[in-house]
Amino acid sequence: MASNKNFFTEEMKKKVIEWIQAKNALKQCECCGANAWFMSDQVVSPVIYAGSMVVGGTAFPQVMLVCKNCGNTKYFNVLVMNLFETKEGEKNV
Ligand SMILES: [Zn+2]
């Protein structure tokens, strides 16, 4: 059963949005022109394919932003943001 546990607190989400805005990376949806996004409460990561699906190992944790109008979805790498400490207590890997 999938967990619905949130990764981001509201404060963390605010930091992420501020980071994206500071990079001038949050604009109108290129698909529908709307300017209404919501951010996922969880971190997502694409599954790596290396001849077969790889479970475990290298990951690319992403913040997911979804257009409220058309569903177009954008991903921003959490590690590039360097906003949060990892479980190991380091500020990135
Ligand atoms: Zn859209």
54-77 per-position pLDDT tens digit: 888 888 999 999 999 999 999 999
What φ, ψ does residue 64 adopt, rounded to 5°? Answer: -110, 125
Beta-strand ranges (E) seen in the chain are 37-39, 48-49, 53-54, 62-67, 73-77
7-52 per-position pLDDT tens digit: 889 999 999 999 999 999 999 999 999 999 999 999 999 998 889 9
| Residue 65: Cβ-neighbour burial (10 angstroms; 0-12, 13-18, 19+) | buried
State the pTM of this model. Answer: 0.79
DSSP single-letter state for residue 36: -
**Cα 15 to middle of ligand 1, angstroms:** 23
**Cα 89 to middle of ligand 1, angstroms:** 37
